[in-house]
Structure 1
């Protein structure tokens, strides 16, 4: 598991706090547009049936689907509304098990007619191509009411989240800019990340660092994949204070680099 410590503290300190699992799950679901829907097979009772499923979210965070009455999953849902939706981070990795994912479990039912305009607008914002078939008579909107979900943020970071906790959670304020921050840091500021990592964990292993890649960032901190003589390791480093925007992340990272240079030099 990743070596996680408080920013600027010694290695025997407790792991730095991360956003609650409910917040991380909400952020992941908000970022993505496609998942895998599993329903209870009507044709083969007792067997799960998986389908690729585009989705949007309503105002409370419930997934909304636009599906044809002819589809197998629609027929399954009419028979048994219990279903699950697997959503994964959309990023490449040599190890898919290291990618964040969440499985939502709930009951998926037809959207009431009076609520169709609201969910239709939200769905078409996420999936504009659906404009061509949204009004076909065999297509209808379905909505999943979430009972529970299981969040996996990577190795060793996993837990159940209740429906109420998910609904109350807010998504991370950096989700719209996180990928840009990660790309910018990895392309232009690897030396700065190595410096921060050395300051974060001042020992002989840290001195042998040769490369650093940011793999995730949120309002409280970021994850680095570090390369040294001993191979690859992961570390969580927190910001001195919560970040609410790309600009605040930039200022905090500049502050951390300045502190690292001062102490290490």
Structure 2
């Protein structure tokens, strides 16, 4: 028996909601595969966007999730927080399937990413220049938006 696809094609409302979730997210859950295993791991990371609206973060090479991204850049981000009231599953959330692009400190785009990130996350000035920290950009391959009960959308990279 074939199950019906629960996801609707993206419309302008879904696209706007997805873009808003990405732009307004201060953090995300990052899912990676632990190196040498098929076991997943999840970490909370700070999140911002670059000047083109793509998700970025500042991560330490000492973190297990950074080591996992170095071994396999395929990852997923979960963005969206439940509100103060009501069922947490009725609040919008977005899963992004991504490829992590680790940005070396000597890369031409590092300074632009640093300026943008610190403008959006000024507290990161405390550690942004530590030798073990670098930026990662998440290139989105697709996404799944759950906008509340019965409102699920499949999004492509052009929808963001």
TM-score class normalised by the smaller sequence: 0.7 to 0.9
The match for 1:122 is 116
**Cα distance in 1 between the residues matched to 2:59 and 2:132:** 8
**Cα distance in 1 between the residues matched to 2:83 and 2:26:** 13
- Normalised to the residue count of structure 1, the TM-score between the two structures is 0.54
Q: Equivalent of 2:25, from 24, 28, 32?
A: 32
Displacement, 1:90?
A: 5.6
Give unmatched runs, 5+ long, in structure 1.
Answer: 1-17, 167-265
Q: Equivalent of 1:97, from 76, 89, 95?
A: 89
The match for 1:262 is none
Deviations 1:4-45, CA, capped at 9 Å, x for gaps: xxxxxxxxxxxxxx84312210012212211101111115x1
**Cα distance in 2 between the residues matched to 1:31 and 1:158:** 20
Equivalent residues in 2 for 1:137-156 (5 A)? Answer: 137-156=131-150
Deviations 1:55-104, CA, capped at 9 Å, x for gaps: 11012221111111010000000000000110014621331000100011
**Cα distance in 1 between the residues matched to 2:125 and 2:144:** 32
**Cα distance in 2 between the residues matched to 1:33 and 1:78:** 23
More helix by share: 1
Q: State the secondary structure of the residue aligned to 1:136.
A: coil
Q: Work out whether residues 66 and 139 of structure 1, in 8 Å CA contact, stay in contact via their aligned partners in 2.
A: yes
Q: Work out whether residues 32 and 90 of structure 1, in 8 Å CA contact, stay in contact via their aligned partners in 2.
A: no
Task: Please tell me the root mean square deviation across aligned C-alpha atoms, in Å.
Answer: 1.4
Equivalent residues in 2 for 1:1-265 (5 A)? Answer: 19-42=12-35, 45-89=37-81, 91-112=83-104, 113-166=107-160
Q: Higher relative CO (CA 8 A, sep ≥ 6), structure 1 or 2?
A: 2
Deviations 1:205-261, CA, capped at 9 Å, x for gaps: xxxxxxxxxxxxxxxxxxxxxxxxxxxxxxxxxxxxxxxxxxxxxxxxxxxxxxxxx
Which of the two has higher C-alpha Rg?
1
Give unmatched runs, 5+ long, in structure 2.
Answer: 1-10
Q: Work out whether residues 82 and 89 of structure 2, in 8 Å CA contact, stay in contact via their aligned partners in 1.
A: no
